[in-house]
Amino acid sequence: MSEQDEDAAAEAAQAIAVAAPVAAPVAVPSAVPAAVPAAVAAAGASRAWAWSLLSASGIVWGATFSLAKIATAGGAHPLGITLWQGIFGGALLLAFAGLRRRRLPLDRRHVEFYVVCGLLGTAIPSTLFFYAAGHLSAGVLSITLGTVPLLTFVLAVFFALDKASSLRLAGLLLGLAAIAMIVAPTSSLPAPDASFWVLVGVGAASCYAFENTFIALRRPDDTDAFTVLGGMLIAAAALLTPLVLATGTFTPLAWPWTAVEWAVFGMAVINVLGYGTFIYLVTYAGPVFASQEAYVVTLAGVAWGIVLFGEVHSPWVWGALAAMIAGLALIKPHGRDRRGP
């Protein structure tokens, strides 16, 4: 992947927040009339491939909300789960870096960058997310985490990384209305204290938004997206290990594995593959197209909760889902990708 593609991937991740990505432009019609049908067919196949990959990846990624509930309901502690996310995810990405023959830079500048990203992108938000997972439905969790691109937009405008518009401000207001529809009405959630845990989920989303902004502002020029992810996961694991051991919250993965162990491992694998697929879509189809995965993940998170747990939501939650999807549609990067569907 070229440095230009990696920069585009980082910009797109900032808009919504992870196979080696290969740039594959859509075929351009030839100047020879006889070649036009073949070019059109190739473009159609490219669009079908991109949409299929985006849909499949988003659906699988949306399952992480349900897996979080399985892990916490089975007795796994949020700190212990977060530690395993860093260990499994970091190991997978180190192996991937070895296949790419890329080393993980470990000079002071990079290590400091990994530590900040590890705190903002894993240690703090993942722990908050797993605490909230024990008190909220998978569907409400997915809607809550849908605020990440909305909050990222606010920070991007504040730091002059992006520009505001009336449509995008309307999207932000719809996202805030979605959270209000969940938190404010007493009949929106089954338990009286659930509103507090929705706000905890928003706190996790805020951390992810700050991480996205920090990466956009401080990412070393020689560090690609996969290096950032691998470094932050390893840093998060290193930071959490003494805390987990001191608090006795380590979650042992005893053999044979039960639903808890598979859920913990599955989340780590899905997150790494999901991010990898997202980066592939950025390089293959462009950042505007790839940013649409946010809708699929949110909708899939609600659907998985219904399928696996038989979740039933109040009209307020369904209204919040509609408002969140509309908000994401308005706030996403606008324009046309130079390549892709």
In a domain, 4, yes or no: no
Identify the three-state secondary structure at position 50. Answer: helix
Q: What is the pLDDT of residue 44?
A: 56
In a domain, 231, yes or no: yes
Query: What length does the chain have?
Result: 341
In a domain, 32, yes or no: no
Task: Over range 213-230, report the average pLDDT.
Answer: 84
Q: How does pLDDT run across 264-289, given as a tens digit for each residue?
A: 999 999 988 888 888 788 777 776 67
- Return the structure tokens found at 79: 């700190």
Q: How does pLDDT run across 132-184, given as a tens digit for each residue?
A: 999 999 999 999 988 888 888 888 889 888 888 888 899 899 999 999 999 88
In a domain, 175, yes or no: yes
Q: Give the C-alpha separation, 279 to 336, whole Å.
A: 18
Q: How does pLDDT run across 112-139, given as a tens digit for each residue?
A: 999 999 999 899 999 999 999 999 999 9
In a domain, 31, yes or no: no
In a domain, 23, yes or no: no
| CB-count burial class (<10 Å; 0-12, 13-18, 19+) for 215 | buried
Which residue carries 């432009």 as its tokens? 25
Domain with 285 in it: 53-331
Q: How many domains does the chain have?
A: 1
In a domain, 79, yes or no: yes
The CA dihedral of 199, 145, 313, 328, to the nearest 10 degrees, is 120
Report cis status (omega within 30 of 0) of the bond before 315.
no
Instruction: State the number of CA atoms in the 13 A half-sphere of 253 facing the CB.
Output: 17
Instruction: Look up the pTM and report it.
Output: 0.82
In a domain, 33, yes or no: no
Q: Give the C-alpha separation, 341 to 331, whole Å.
A: 20
Other C-beta atoms closer than 10 Å to the C-beta of 159 total 12
- Assess contact for 254 and 83: CB atoms under 8 A: no
